[in-house]
A and B are shown apart, each in its own frame.
Chain A
Amino acid sequence: LAKTTQPISMDSYEGQEVNITCSHNNIATNDYITWYQQFPSQGPRFIIQGYKTKVTNEVASLFIPADRKSSTLSLPRVSLSDTAVYYCLVLEGAGSYQLTFGKGTKLSVIP
């Protein structure tokens, strides 16, 4: 399983774009990059998943460079309700049930 490294915490003002970068140097060819969001005392919630280049959905964008050794989760115009822990995970495409959560990034949005 590829290990991920991401900042422990980040602060942002409301309305700003937030970019959280994750490092996964030993990602394998078939692996996917996945991000989850977790609020206190709730289960994690899937945000976005990608393999290469750029993926966008209604809540976030995921940028993955050609070497795939890192990825950046981009949250446009954050609000106070985006204050949460964001986990970057590498999901084995070849066949693993496991989600191995790293330490996550605690994002605090300031009014």
Chain B
Amino acid sequence: DTEVTQTPKHLVMGMTNKKSLKCEQHMGHRAMYWYKQKAKKPPELMFVYSYEKLSINESVPSRFSPECPNSSLLNLHLHALQPEDSALYLCASSQRDRGRDEQFFGPGTRLTVL
């Protein structure tokens, strides 16, 4: 199984809502990532988990809260988002936590904040 799955595929939420994005992989990868991608822009790294510990937070606002319950799961909790947070949110995983390696990306969650 070389797949990273993400749910939901689409999410529409109001600025006062609380929602969560879910990511799952069963490749035994030890590193997992969240990226944000705005339309016609490249993906931007948000968070990195290595061995279930948060290792990188790229100055992301606190309204985004990541969680790694176990080595296969990665969540992104959303609260009090702004319309400018509307984007494609991508999850990725890799076998090694650094160096030469291939990241496997999920299909993304298309988030719209009203």
Chain A residues within 8 Å of B, Cβ to Cβ: 32, 34, 41-46, 49, 87, 91-104
Residues in chain B near residue A100, CB distance under 8 A? 45
Q: A41-B88, A43-B92 are in contact. Are A97 and B105 (CB under 8 A)?
A: no
Chain B binding surface SS class: strand
Say whether chain A's binding surface is mostly helix, strand, loop, or mixed. loop
Closest residue on chain B to residue A43 by CB atoms: B105
Bound Cα distance A75, B50 (Å): 34
Q: Find out whether the CB atom of A42 lies under 8 angstroms from the CB atom of B108.
A: yes
Residues of B within 8 A of A102 (CB): 42
**A106 shortest CB reach to chain B, Å:** 9
Interchain CB contact (< 8 A) of B100 among A91, A97, A98? A91
Q: Given A43-B107, A45-B105, A49-B102, are A98 and B90 neighbors across the interface (CB < 8 Å)?
A: no
Q: With the chains together, A39 CA to B51 CA distance in Å?
A: 30
A97 and B97 within 8 A (CB): yes
Contact A103 B100, CB 8 Å, known A42-B108, A43-B105, A97-B48: no
